Amino acid sequence: MKVIAINGSPRKKCNTATLLKNALEGAESEGAETELIHLYDLNYKGCKSCFSCKIKGGKSYGRCAVNDDLTSIFRKVEESDALILGSPIYLGTVTGEMRSFMERLIYPYLTYNNPPKSLFPKKINTGFIYTMNVKKEQVKESGYNLIFATNEYYFKLIFGDSESLLSFDTYQFKDYSKVVSDRFDAEEKAKTRREVFPEDCKRAFEMGTKFAQRI
């Protein structure tokens, strides 16, 4: 069994990547083969709106026709048994790289039937791990809930079961005194990093464990 994680953060050793690694460790504890893919290492763009994936009888029907660094990644997704995406929240949504990846991943499998159907060849478990500066009580007023719900809707439609893990009030800088950041309480951020983030790592590990057990 294979579990793939997709890191939509530009940083490979910070909050999002750490949680994804914990999720994969959870899957590995149940015997799964795992792989962590960093989107910022790849060369690609978002959907080109060529509609090749929608042409009846076309050679690219249900598949993205663009040949770039994502082509092999999509093959790996189809061969996987579970998929976990991770992204920090930038300006109210996922990173540009993650958004472009999701366009290319989801759109070819999404039919224009009424109701829409999925062309993905099987059902797999999917999860999304989000990291963000805001506190839990600020999520609703920030409008983030709509973003999370929309992404979960499409992942359930295309792949099957899906769930989200939210990590709040994350620690961004090693030394807050060196950046203009009056908006944040550095001591409170450090406390959250010490006391709450380890619990988020445990939840990520449990997600990976659960996905592997379901396979």
pTM over 0.85? The answer is yes
Q: pLDDT at position 190, please?
A: 86
Mean predicted lDDT score pLDDT of the chain: 95
Q: pLDDT at position 82, please?
A: 98
Going 27 to 28 to 33 to 38, the CA torsion angle's sign is positive
User: Terminus-to-terminus CA distance in the chain, angstroms?
Assistant: 7
Cα gap 130→19, rounded to integer Å: 9
Which pLDDT tens digit goes with each residue over 75-112?
A: 999 999 999 999 999 999 999 999 999 999 999 999 99
Question: Under a CB-based contact definition with an 8 Å cutoff, are residues 77 and 105 in contact?
Answer: yes
Which pLDDT tens digit goes with each residue over 58-84?
A: 999 999 999 999 999 999 999 999 999
Which pLDDT tens digit goes with each residue over 154-212?
A: 999 999 999 999 999 998 888 888 889 888 888 888 899 999 999 999 999 999 999 99
Residue 107, φ and ψ in degrees, nearest 5? -60, -45
Residues 14-34 have a mean pLDDT of 98
Evaluate if residue 6 carries a pLDDT over 90: yes
The pLDDT confidence band at residue 30, using thresholds 50, 70 and 90, is: very high
Going 144 to 133 to 43 to 163, the CA torsion angle's sign is negative
Domain 2-214 class, CATH top level: alpha beta
- Pick the more confident residue, 193 or 22: 22
Q: pLDDT at position 194, please?
A: 93
CA-derived radius of gyration, the chain:
18
Which pLDDT tens digit goes with each residue over 32-54?
A: 999 999 999 999 999 999 999 99
Which pLDDT tens digit goes with each residue over 140-159?
A: 888 899 999 999 999 999 99
Q: pLDDT at position 184, please?
A: 86
Evaluate if residue 215 carries a pLDDT over 90: no
Percent of the chain exceeding pLDDT 70 equals: 100
Q: Where are the domains of the chain?
A: 2-214
